[in-house]
Amino acid sequence: MNLTASNISKKYNRSKGGANWFYAVKSIDLCIEAGKLTAVYGRSGSGKTTLLNLLGGLLQPSEGKVLCGETDIYAMPDKELSAFRNQHIGIVPQGAAALGNLTVLENVLLPSLIGGRSSDEQEKRAEALLQSFGIASLRDVMPRELSGGEQRRMAIARALMNRPEILLCDEPTGDLDDENTRVVLRLLRDEAAKGTAVLLFTHEADARNYADIVMKMDGGSLEKI
Amino acid sequence: MFFRMIKGALFRQKSKMIMIAVTIALGSSLATAMLNIMLDVGDKVNQELKAYGANITVVPKENSVLDSLYDLDDGGESVAHLKEEDLGKIKTIFWGFNILDFTPFVNTVVTLGDGSTAKLTGTWFNHHLALNTGEELDAGIHSLRSWWEIKNGQWLDEQKESIPANGALIGSALAARLGVETGDTLEVNTAKGSQALQIAGVYDAGGDEDEQLFTLLPVAQMLADCQGLIDSIEVSALTTPDNELARKAATKGPGALSPADYETWYCTAYVSSICYQIQEAIPDSVASAVRQVAESEGTILDKTRLLMILITILSLFGSALGISNLVTASVMERSNEIGLLKAIGARDSRISGIVLTEIMLTAIVGGVAGYFMGYGFAQIIGHTVFASAIEMKPMVIPLVAVLIIIVTLAGSIPAIRMLLRLRPAEVLHGR
Ligand SMILES: Nc1ncnc2c1ncn2[C@@H]1O[C@H](COP(=O)(O)OP(=O)(O)O)[C@@H](O)[C@H]1O
Ligand SMILES: [Mg+2]
């Protein structure tokens, strides 16, 4: 399944009540293709997180449409959109995002629980994901005890839990050392090879060696390089 | 797992949750205190209003003029009298059904053995009346003075065969002065005759009546030399609260009303129309409403109640605002976790549910603590303002619980919705 954005913008008002509009994302057309790893470079403040939220169905665009396959995701009410996101879109948020009171395994299981599926089969899948990401021994550990690289791997495992067709990653290599960066990029490369449409926001130069398509984001606009 | 998610928030945001609990405890304590005081003091005053049942007095026309001219209400013998045989007519008026009780009085001043004087009143205690309407009624001061405390002995029971013809009750102050007790005989004299009274009981009325003697009607009539006559009548009637029409009739007289208004007024149980009808029934009498004090107490009570309701509403409103702020802060602080939940497909309603559960758990703790604080407040206010303990009404508990739930929901739902709907980007930015 492809994820297509047509002419999407997000504008914010800088002065409350005034008319000082600025575009965090400006008229972007983008297609993230199934089976490909698309990497987007961009400085801090260039609008990456905003674009990811727009693409992930988390933030209503001011203008434009986001199509997931044939589905206009913002035409759905919150309930349906949430269920759709749960099943079809995996999101790796910026920073270390985890529910602090749940173990690593429970964190990875969370999407299936929220989707209303909990079974031994799901638990096996979660364990298999931890295994393939090399953090199986950490299944009963609390997230705050993990290193940066381990946390990022857990976050990707969680995003993949429900076998989404689309995977959106917000600086997943943000504060990792070279070794861990390579591990994470390889994981994403493998995922794309399995047919998932992967979008990677980063400022890691190394990423272009793994990506099929490379783009650059600046001031809310996107250009191909 | 769900519960561990909630526990996490409760324990990691301890200080915020404690603040929420304290905010709710304050609101709940004020609501508890105010509601209990409102209900209890309301009951107390109502009891008193009912106890002061006599809300109309009937006197002879001439005396009424003299009394009001010279303020001659000194308990001495009256110049003019009403007829004892007319008493039953009170129940025959248009609003006869609303007449709950009445009793005649004959007053005289008696000289006692030690040369001092005291006021003696002849009356009915629980006089059985069989009216020609077929209605039966026990009338007398036993129920009109229900607040009297009989310290020893007992009420005179007119319906007992064994009642002494010279039985009397003596006020506690007079009894103390004379050293008289239940069972004693007390000799009283007037210019018209003398009588040995047999003391059946000592009462504590908490007022001027404690200096008095109360005896059966015929005894007082003999001593005052007015057989078949009475000085005044006290009537207890159920009345409709006055409105514009009633006030107009009371100030300008019923004659000033238009025929239609007159009809309405006459056929409504205003105290003024009942008085008017009593005057019609009993020749040469003037009936007038008493206990204006109780009425103004009632008005003050109403206003106090309104004030307490306002304080309660304002404090609950304040609590809701406080909660709203704290919830906003708490959600912002956890924007990471909430953003994550949203990102993996949790519905807004589900996230609200999680946050609300935390806050509700906190609110229960705060609400219970507040209830007991409120209990303390109520007693302090009761003792300082009303000089009595406040009885805690069980019905306040569900009432306060409902109020706290409403306030908590009203305080948190808008905050959570606002954060999830209007500013998702801020919640989801992971900053
Ligand atoms: N909710 C918001 N309200 C106002 N401005 C915002 C909001 N979210 C992001 N911005 C602004 O939009 C721009 C892009 O932000 P962001 O998408 O977070 O950039 P990046 O992820 O590339 O660092 C920044 O200037 C940021 O301040
Ligand atoms: Mg960002």
Which is more confident, B48 or B347?
B347
**Looking at B42-46, B93-97, B389-393, which range is the least confident one?**
B42-46
Question: Searching chain B, which residue's CA lies closest to the CA of residue A115?
Answer: B345
What is the distance between the alpha carbons of residues B224 and B217, in angstroms, rounded to a whole number?
11
Which is more confident, A220 or B431?
A220
Contact B344 A111 (CB under 8 A): yes
CB-based pocket (< 6 A), ligand 1: A 12, 24, 42, 44-50; B 425-426, 429
Answer positive or negative: Cα dihedral of B375, B376, B377, B379: positive
What is the distance between the alpha carbons of residues B223 and B109, in angstroms, rounded to a whole number?
9
Beta pairing class for B193-204 and B167-171: parallel
Directed axis angle between helix B2-12 and helix B14-51, to 10°? Answer: 90
Ligand 1 atom nearest residue A52's Cα: 17
Which is more confident, B417 or B398?
B398
What is the arithmetic mean of pLDDT over B376-400?
85
Q: Answer whether residue B217 shows pLDDT above 90.
A: yes
Q: Between the CA of residue B58 and those of A12, B212, B226, B236, B328, what are the distances in Å?
A: 82, 21, 18, 11, 68
| Residues sharing a CB contact under 8 Å with residue A128, sequence separation 6 or more, in sequence order | none
Confirm if A110 and A158 have CB atoms less than 8 A apart.
Answer: yes
Q: Separation of A63 CA from ligand 2 center, angstroms?
A: 21
Read off the tokens for B397: 């508990």
Q: Separation of B225 CA from ligand 1 center, angstroms?
A: 105
End-of-domain residue from the set B289, B320, B340: B289
What is the arithmetic mean of pLDDT over B267-276?
87
- In the block, tokens 């272009």 appear at A208
* B contacts of A86 (beta carbons < 8 Å): 344-346
Q: Separation of A186 CA from ligand 2 center, angstroms?
A: 22
Task: Give the 3-state secondary structure of residue B387.
Answer: coil
Contact B337 A99 (CB under 8 A): yes
Number of domains in chain B: 2
Beta pairing class for A213-218 and A37-42: parallel
Whose Cα sits closest to atom 10 in ligand 1? Answer: A24
Mutate to test the interface with A, among B14, B333, B342, B344 (most CBs of A within 10 A): B344
Give the gyration radius of chain B's Cα atoms. 33
What is the distance between the alpha carbons of residues A197 and A34, in angstroms, rounded to a whole number?
4
SS (H, E, C) B173-218: HHHHHHCCCCCCEEEEEECCEEEEEEEEEEEECCCHHHHEEEEEHH
B230: left (phi over 0), alpha (psi -120 to 50) or beta: beta
Q: Answer whether residue B45 shows pLDDT above 70.
A: no
Beta pairing class for B185-190 and B193-204: antiparallel
My answer on whether B69 and B214 are in the same domain is yes
Nearest to A101 among B4, B342, B343 (CB): B4
Nearest to A59 among B345, B424, B430 (CB): B424
Name which of A104, A100, A109, A143 is nearest B11 in CA terms. Answer: A100
pLDDT, residue B330, reads 84
Contact B346 A82 (CB under 8 A): yes
My answer on whether B68 and B193 are in the same domain is yes
Confirm if B204 and B149 have CB atoms less than 8 A apart.
Answer: yes
Q: Answer whether residue B48 shows pLDDT above 70.
A: no
Q: Answer whether residue B245 shows pLDDT above 90.
A: no
Give the CA count within 13 Å in the CB-facing half-sphere of B244: 1
Q: Answer whether residue B78 shows pLDDT above 70.
A: no
A8-29 pLDDT, tens per residue?
A: 999 988 766 667 888 999 999 9
CATH code of the domain containing A94 = 3.40.50.300
Q: Separation of A50 CA from ligand 1 center, angstroms?
A: 6
pLDDT, residue B332, reads 81
pLDDT, residue B236, reads 86
What is the distance between the alpha carbons of residues A182 and A204, in angstroms, rounded to a whole number?
10
Q: Between the CA of residue B194 and those of B149, B166, B167, B191, B222, what are the distances in Å?
A: 28, 11, 14, 8, 9
Question: Searching chain B, which residue's CA lies closest to the CA of residue A85?
Answer: B345
What is the distance between the alpha carbons of residues A151 and A155, in angstroms, rounded to a whole number?
6
B113-171 pLDDT, tens per residue?
A: 888 999 999 999 999 988 877 888 889 998 888 878 898 899 999 988 888 889 999 99
Q: Separation of A45 CA from ligand 1 center, angstroms?
A: 6
In sequence order, the β-bridge partners of residue B99 are B237
Q: Which ligand is nearest to the CA of B335?
A: 1
Contact A97 B339 (CB under 8 A): yes
My answer on whether B38 and B85 are in the same domain is no
pLDDT, residue B22, reads 94
Answer positive or negative: Cα dihedral of A85, A86, A89, A91: positive
In sequence order, the β-bridge partners of residue A5 are A30, A66
Given a cut of 70, the residues of chain A with pLDDT beneath it are 15-18
Which is more confident, B221 or B423?
B221
What is the distance between the alpha carbons of residues B115 and B195, in angstroms, rounded to a whole number?
15
Which is more confident, B74 or B43?
B43
Neighbouring C-beta atoms of residue B6, cutoff 10 Å: 17
Burial (0-12, 13-18, 19+ Cβ within 10 Å), A76: middle
What is the arithmetic mean of pLDDT over B206-211?
85
Distance (Å) from the alpha carbon of B8 to chain A's nearest alpha carbon: 5
| B422 has a chain A CB within 8 A of its CB | no
What is the distance between the alpha carbons of residues B232 and B108, in angstroms, rounded to a whole number?
12
Ligand 1 atom nearest residue A46's Cα: 22
Task: Give, for ligand 1, the residue of A49, A170, A216, A218 to mutate: max count of ligand atoms closer than 8 Å to Cβ.
Answer: A49
Q: Separation of A207 CA from ligand 1 center, angstroms?
A: 23
- Mean pLDDT, chain B, rounded, equals 84
pTM: 0.62
pLDDT, residue B293, reads 47
Contact A100 B428 (CB under 8 A): no
Neighbouring C-beta atoms of residue B251, cutoff 10 Å: 9
Task: Give the 3-state secondary structure of residue B89.
Answer: helix
Task: Give, for ligand 1, the residue of A21, A43, A50 to mutate: max count of ligand atoms closer than 8 Å to Cβ.
Answer: A50
Give the gyration radius of chain A's Cα atoms. 17
Confirm if A56 and A168 have CB atoms less than 8 A apart.
Answer: yes
Name which of B232, B267, B227, B225 is nearest B249 in CA terms. Answer: B267
Question: Searching chain B, which residue's CA lies closest to the CA of residue A99?
Answer: B337
Contact B345 A83 (CB under 8 A): yes
What is the distance between the alpha carbons of residues A89 and A169, in angstroms, rounded to a whole number?
11
Ligand 1 atom nearest residue A220's Cα: 14
Read off the tokens for B186: 């007390």
Range of the domain at B364: 2-46+301-428
pLDDT, residue B237, reads 83
Residue at B295 is within a domain: no
My answer on whether B282 and B343 are in the same domain is no
Contact B428 A59 (CB under 8 A): yes
pLDDT, residue B430, reads 46
pLDDT, residue B426, reads 52
My answer on whether B106 and B240 are in the same domain is yes
pLDDT, residue B179, reads 92
Q: Separation of B402 CA from ligand 1 center, angstroms?
A: 42
* B contacts of A115 (beta carbons < 8 Å): 345
Distance (Å) from the alpha carbon of A199 to chain B's nearest alpha carbon: 15
| B184 has a chain A CB within 8 A of its CB | no
Number of domains in chain A: 1
Range of the domain at A92: 3-224
In sequence order, the β-bridge partners of residue A214 are A39
pLDDT level of residue B372 (50, 70, 90 thresholds)? very high
What ipTM was reported for this prediction?
A: 0.91
Q: Which residues of A touch B (CB under 8 A)?
A: 49-50, 53, 56, 58-59, 78-79, 82-87, 91, 93-102, 106, 110-111, 113-115, 158-159, 170
pLDDT level of residue B42 (50, 70, 90 thresholds)? low
Whose Cα sits closest to atom 16 in ligand 1? Answer: A47
My answer on whether B184 and B61 are in the same domain is yes
pLDDT, residue B295, reads 57
Residue at B296 is within a domain: no
pLDDT, residue B337, reads 83
Interchain CB contacts (distance < 8 Å): A and B: 87
Q: Between the CA of residue B334 and those of A99, B176, B297, what are the distances in Å?
A: 10, 76, 54
Whose Cα sits closest to atom 12 in ligand 1? Answer: A24
| Residues sharing a CB contact under 8 Å with residue A18, sequence separation 6 or more, in sequence order | none
pLDDT, residue B431, reads 44
How many percent of chain B have pLDDT more than 90? Answer: 42
What is the distance between the alpha carbons of residues B176 and B229, in angstroms, rounded to a whole number?
32
pLDDT level of residue B352 (50, 70, 90 thresholds)? confident
| B303 has a chain A CB within 8 A of its CB | no
pLDDT, residue B96, reads 84
